[in-house]
Amino acid sequence: MKAVIMAGGKGTRLRPLTSHTPKPMVPLLNRPCMEYTIDLLKKHGITEIAVTLQYLPDAIKSEFGDGSRYGVSLVYFEETTPLGTAGSVKNCADFLDERFIVISGDTLTDIDLTAAIRFHEQKQSLATLILTKVETPLEFGVVMTDESGRIIRFLEKPTWAEVFSDTVNTGMYIFEPEVLSYIEDEREVDFSKEVFPFFLREGKPMYGYAADGYWSDIGSLEVYRQAQFDLLDGKVHLEIKAKEIAPRIYLENHVRIDSSVRLEGPVYIGENVHLQSGVAIGPYSILGTNTVVASGTRLSQAIVWENTIVGKKTEINGTTLCRKVQIADSVMLGEGAVIGDNCRIASKSVVKAGVKIWPDKDVGESAIVTTSLIYGTKQTKNLFGTNGIKGMGNVEITPEFVTRLAASYAYLLQAGSRIALSACAHPFAQLLKHSVMTSLCSSGIDTVDLGIGNSPLMRFGVSSLQCAGGIHIFMTEPLEDKEIVIQFVDQDGLPVSRDVERKIENAYWQETYVRSLHHLGQLHVEHQVQEAYLRALSQRIDTAGIRRQRFRLLVECEPRFTPAFLAPLFDTLGVNVQYGAIQEGVMKHEADLGVRLDKNGEHFSLFTERGEKLTAEQLIALQLLSCSGIHSKIGLPVSAPMELEHLAQLLQLEVVRTKVSPRAMMEVSLGERFHPMFDAVYSLLRILSYLAKEEKPLSVLTELLPSCHMEKKTVFCPWTSKGKVMRKMLEENKGKLLELVDGIKVYDAGGWVLILPDTEDSHVKVITQGATAETAATLATTYARRIAEYQ
């Protein structure tokens, strides 16, 4: 049996560790990560190995050579252009003339490969994926199998709402040579996105082997550190190639330790390290070959690569230092800081916690470094949440932050692309918009300033002006919260896909910018979008019917922009509008209905002439009625009650059940200039058209709407438990009718329950519908209790 080691990754999330070092060469206990992979294959009798290369290939070739030093035979296959995971393996086709295993050169694992191969043989599988359980499955492929182990569902890098299990694809596969025939030559092909979904559709024998043992994908700086701590703690059953001179104190050859040196295990000290007098090496410290630590210095949880010099009376706590770093005397390095290759930190300097310094940088004497050098400062893993990027104004969302964010976005665009920009009326939102504008133009991107607006106006402007995308910035209500939201839309005016969000995030973390004095973008100002929007909207409503009814509205909205924006429209339609708080009373103002518009123009609440607020389900039902004859297809989230689907069918509206995300719902009616569920003004006017046609007050129509009984609960659930909770929920409900569009929807005799992990908070949402209110409440309470128990 042969093997393929995938060793072409750049490891961008590990920068600055990987700025000069390919990811498989990043050291774990002073040995390249890929060496552990080779040792594991050899342990299971696999010695003929192909190695796929792309990023800094010579570094890997020069280290491992032909493999004879490690008791194996290595053959290298280099890619000149990216081929994807499957394309890389197909590039080795001449070598792979028998069953083979694919394994990554940048993971650390002690999984029993022999047992996995035996499982593959017993199942007579074409492809076997080796699976494991992880606490947080978001960065992996979640896999579901039936009782025999056959794979029935595969989802690559899911959102929390798509996490159906904590069982994930390790990236280790056992293949029959026939698999290669399904991969095109010299084309970028991915196993997870193309090959495996094809096998599922075609019913090919594809199984998942649930493995025991240790597995860690060295994909982030935190995981990189933890993997080495796990090695020192004996959690990984792999050989540590050093002498254990005392419990969990490992020394390689020729280590020089002067007087009064204190070692507190677990520690690992590489070859030719010199520890001068009075040095204290605390737990979980790892020192690479030829490191010198001068007298009086204290290290704790420090990871130091080879050929690094640390000066006197320096304190290093939880810091990672790359190759050939020079640290002078009396320096303090904070927890989570990373110092790249060839950096020099002068005496009495302080590098604060979490700071990352790219290679070849000098830090001057007595400097205090609080922000990263050539690296972003925002420390959250994901910039994007459910509805864009959110943060405290001038605290988390600053002009500096949006400048870098816009430059990251520009990196994904073609030079000369046009991007529309708008912001709410708040001065700080407008200031941020100008920061974005400057950054995009300096990156060669043309900008179109739409002025003050909201999200529906932005979406309309992007599609009308045929822009490549748009950015809208607004301050949420109430203003005391000081929360800023930044929304990105694509060329169709839809919120950008998760794939694009990831690309923006990656470019941001890598500080991948394009700046040029020779290709500056142009700034355009467009004043006519509001008028064009109102004209187009008027063509989609019964203007004569609305005029005839002479509606009286009480409208509660933000005062800076909306009243002036809507005034020409309401004047044309003969609608008498009073602006004020709904709590003042619809009846008091003798209004036909009350409307509370959200600041961003996407959502609204509706009140009858009696002051009764419509439920969310009643409002959607009314929106469906008002869309009849205008829209042919509409997206309803899986959380919507079944009665709405039945209503839509009666209205001859095609319904597509979608995820709860705005993009998923909007995509169903792609090409529509107005999205009734995400354009409050359009939806309100459609409802006025419907009321004018029916000539009945809203309270009477509300009584005719289908009734349904819903219950919603939010259950606390730590991020690390969400995957386990979802897996246990699936296991417990085997045999029941399930829907896995978004979260897990379980159909019960008395109704249904939707279990939906929150994408931004440590919560799981429970949404239920029952035949009665009591049934819905009981279902919600029962499942909320189970979620708490599963943790």
pLDDT tens sequence across 128-139:
999 998 877 677
Q: How many CB atoms lie within 10 A of CB 775?
A: 18
| Three-state secondary structure call for residue 76 | strand
Question: Letter for the amino acid at 350?
Answer: V
- pLDDT of res. 63: 92
3-state secondary structure 373-440: ECCCCCCCCCCCECCEEEEEECCCECHHHHHHHHHHHHHCCCCCCEEEEEECCCHHHHHHHHHHHHHH
- pLDDT of res. 480: 63
Confidence of residue 177 (pLDDT cuts 50, 70, 90): very high
Q: Regarding beta strands 744-748 and 751-757, do their DSSP bridges make them parallel or antiparallel, or are they unpaired?
A: antiparallel
Mean pLDDT rounded to a whole number for the chain: 90
> Could you report the per-residue pLDDT of 227-267, keeping only the tens digit for each?
999 999 999 999 999 999 999 999 999 999 999 999 998 99
Number of residues assigned to the chain: 791
- pLDDT of res. 160: 67
Alpha-carbon distance values, 172 to 68, 126, 307, 456, 559 (Å)? 24, 14, 34, 45, 58
Half-sphere exposure of 173 (CA within 13 A, CB side): 22
Q: What is the mean pLDDT of residues 39-51?
A: 95
Tokens for 346? 């002068």
Tokens for 474? 């607004």
**Which range is least confidently modeled, 160-169, 199-208, 676-685, 766-775?**
160-169
> Could you report the per-residue pLDDT of 378-431, keeping only the tens digit for each?
334 478 888 899 988 888 899 999 999 999 999 999 988 999 999 999 999 999
- pLDDT of res. 481: 65
> Could you report the per-residue pLDDT of 333-368, keeping only the tens digit for each?
999 999 999 999 999 999 999 899 989 898 988 888
Tokens for 40? 């594991």
- pLDDT of res. 784: 93
Spell out the domains of the chain, with CATH numbers in brackets: 2-217 (3.90.550.10), 242-369 (2.160.10.10), 389-527 (3.40.120.10), 532-704 (3.40.120.10), 709-790 (3.30.310.50)
How far, in Å, CA of 88 to CA of 93, rounded? 9
Q: 93: which residues sit within 8 A by CB, 6+ positions away?
A: 180
Instruction: Tell me how far apart the 2 most distant CA atoms of the chain are, in Å.
Output: 98
Q: How many CB atoms lie within 10 A of CB 564?
A: 12
628 within 8 A of 659, measured Cβ to Cβ: no
Q: What is the mean pLDDT of residues 147-155?
A: 88
How far, in Å, CA of 286 to CA of 250, rounded? 9
Q: How many CB atoms lie within 10 A of CB 58?
A: 10
- pLDDT of res. 373: 78
| Three-state secondary structure call for residue 779 | helix
Ramachandran angles phi, psi of 510, nearest 5° = -85, -5
- pLDDT of res. 474: 95
How far, in Å, CA of 216 to CA of 674, rounded? 46
pTM of the predicted protein model: 0.63
Cis link prior to 16 (omega < 30° from 0)? yes
| Dihedral of alpha carbons 148, 150, 156, 160, sign | negative
- pLDDT of res. 150: 92
Site of tokens 């039945």:
646
> What stretch of H or E contains 130?
strand 127-133
Q: Regarding beta strands 167-175 and 73-78, do their DSSP bridges make them parallel or antiparallel, or are they unpaired?
A: unpaired
Confidence of residue 376 (pLDDT cuts 50, 70, 90): very low
- pLDDT of res. 692: 93
Bigger pLDDT: 139 vs 705:
705
Question: Letter for the amino acid at 409?
Answer: Y
| Dihedral of alpha carbons 559, 560, 565, 567, sign | positive
How far, in Å, CA of 524 to CA of 532, rounded? 17
Q: What is the mean pLDDT of residues 718-736?
A: 86
- pLDDT of res. 90: 92
Percent of the chain past pLDDT 90, that is, above it, reads 67
